[in-house]
Structure 1
Amino acid sequence: MKTPRRLLTALALACTLPLHAQELVVSAAASLGNAFQQIGAAYEKANPGRKVIFNFAASGPLLAQIQQGAPVDVFASADQATMDRAASARLLAEGTRAEFARNALVVVLPAASTAKPASLKDLAGADYKRIAAGTAATVPAGKYAADAVAQAGLADALRAKWIYGESVRQVLNYVARGEVDAGFVYRTDALIEPGKTRIAFTVPTATPVSYPIAQVAASRNAESARAFAAFVRGAEGQAILQRFGFSPP
């Protein structure tokens, strides 16, 4: 019987990620990459002898890895819905889940584009033939985008235009390279490529774009996992997040 690709990914992760007591494995949403790298360095400086190993991807695949037994200590997702699924599957240590940041969904254009869309309805126009978004089933930014488009009554008008990415960073790359006419990303992602993309407008979402963090129940480093989550939510972690454009919870 053929082994499912996601299970192979989880098994590969289990083989490559370290299991030493002082090495903490953090699986975090792709949009947290730049900020969490700095937070990890600051945490290691404040806690000599401890090392943080990051695994960045879309929130859905990260959850799948944890479900399949990958040795993860801390999970930080880009939406509450994915963390809800983790909680329902009893994958989180009780009492450790907390919101630590907020973001905003925006539409970005290639920097060279002369288009000036002001709202979602403008994307139905002829100037926008290819529009990128994350796959809604696995990428929270894609789900926020799909919900916003549906709420605006534009699902049918935009259906043939979608180009899907496996993460919000892949969507950003599509836009930065001019491979699409517009894309849905988080505001913090748009700030990463200021010379290659520009924000057209902020997309209204039915629920806030909020980020939760939690210790994974199967963690072998419970104390370090709780300490890292507390550091993210503390003054130094929050200052780093805000420098990268995140808002406090």
Structure 2
Amino acid sequence: MRFVHSLAVALLAALPLLASAQQLTVSAAASLTDAFNEIGAKFAAVHPGVTVRFNFAASGVLLQQIRQGAPVDVFASADQETVARGIDAQLLDAGTKQDFAANSVVLIIPAEGAPLVKTLADLSNPAVKRIALGKAATVPVGRYTRQALESAGQWGALQPKFVQAESVRQVLDYVARGEAEAGFVYRTDAMLAPGKVRIALTVEGHEPVTYPVITVSASREQSLARDFIAYLSTPTAQNVLARYGFVKS
């Protein structure tokens, strides 16, 4: 009986902790993986009882998941267009939208043995057989890439060389493994593979790369979701983003 009594006391003591335990689910663009994992840990450290769970993928894929009913509280995209579609579909709460970071698109080549590429026109070189890029329909960096290549008059001519990727990280992997002679990624992604890839040039001729974050309309953790969005603007979070190569929007 003494054991049962002690167990009951322990359970009663734990009830406040159980009641306060919360989980925040954040769907974020693949390019945010490393920075957000660190930011999530710091956010949880100052919010006792909160667990932050991340789902990383291409922004368009994440919006599709939300549309299909995935239990998500916060959505961080690598572009404005995907968030605008979510707002139009009433999947995202426009009143909570905030831009928290910016990036740039670069053309990368394998660190060793790659054909010389100094301009987008050089991609027409027969030695460049495969060009990795994200799928324009679902991967923001793919859409930025298409805009840049169309601006340069290269999109149509280069299409036979394209290797379509499901995310910017897959583009990085293709080039790092030498499975493509060139690829389009964000500068922050290129920084993650020193010794495997190098930046050939910074790409222009596309919309600015800005990252919006917003709450999901169906979230059951609206207050906590807003807290996380606000946290992204704090010096602590901004310092983490800066270390990974992001700049202020």
Alpha-carbon distance between aligned partners in 1 of 2:233 and 2:63, rounded to the nearest angstrom: 21
**Are the equivalent residues in 2 in contact too, given 1:21–1:221 (CA < 8 A)?**
no
**Are the equivalent residues in 1 in contact too, given 2:131–2:180 (CA < 8 A)?**
yes
Q: How does 1:57-72 map to 2 (within 5 A)?
A: 57-72=57-72
Matched, 1:52 2:65: no
SS across alignment from 2:219: coil
**Are the equivalent residues in 1 in contact too, given 2:98–2:212 (CA < 8 A)?**
yes
Offset at residue 114 of structure 1 (A): 4.3
**Are the equivalent residues in 2 in contact too, given 1:105–1:205 (CA < 8 A)?**
no
Matched, 1:135 2:135: yes
The share of aligned pairs that are identical, in percent, is: 53
SS across alignment from 2:205: coil
Q: How does 1:70-219 map to 2 (within 5 A)?
A: 70-219=70-219
- Shifted more, 105-114 versus 66-75: the winner is 105-114
- Aligned pair count reads 230
Partner in structure 1 of residue 222 of structure 2: 222
**Are the equivalent residues in 2 in contact too, given 1:58–1:139 (CA < 8 A)?**
yes
SS across alignment from 2:232: helix
**Are the equivalent residues in 1 in contact too, given 2:59–2:140 (CA < 8 A)?**
yes
Runs of 4+ in 1 over 6 A off after TM superposition: none
Offset at residue 92 of structure 1 (A): 1.4
Instruction: Kindly report the root-mean-square deviation, in angstroms, between the aligned alpha carbons of the 2 structures.
Output: 1.1
Alpha-carbon distance between aligned partners in 2 of 1:94 and 1:102, rounded to the nearest angstrom: 20
Given residue 135 of structure 1, which amino acid in structure 2 is its aligned partner? K
Offset at residue 21 of structure 1 (A): 6.2
SS across alignment from 2:106: strand
- Cα distance change of structure 1 residues 73 and 52 upon mapping to structure 2, 3 Å threshold: same
Given residue 22 of structure 2, which amino acid in structure 1 is its aligned partner? Q
- Cα distance change of structure 1 residues 23 and 244 upon mapping to structure 2, 3 Å threshold: same
Return the TM-score normalized by structure 2: 0.90
Listed as ranges, the gaps of 5+ residues in structure 2 are: 1-19
SS across alignment from 1:102: strand
Offset at residue 42 of structure 1 (A): 0.6
Larger radius of gyration: 2
Give deviations 1:63-101, integer Å, cap 9, x for gaps. Answer: 000011111000000000001101111111241001110
Given residue 226 of structure 1, which amino acid in structure 2 is its aligned partner? R
Alpha-carbon distance between aligned partners in 1 of 2:36 and 2:25, rounded to the nearest angstrom: 12
SS across alignment from 1:205: coil
Listed as ranges, the gaps of 5+ residues in structure 1 are: 1-19
**Are the equivalent residues in 2 in contact too, given 1:21–1:220 (CA < 8 A)?**
no
Alpha-carbon distance between aligned partners in 1 of 2:59 and 2:114, rounded to the nearest angstrom: 33
Given residue 55 of structure 2, which amino acid in structure 1 is its aligned partner? N
Partner in structure 1 of residue 3 of structure 2: none
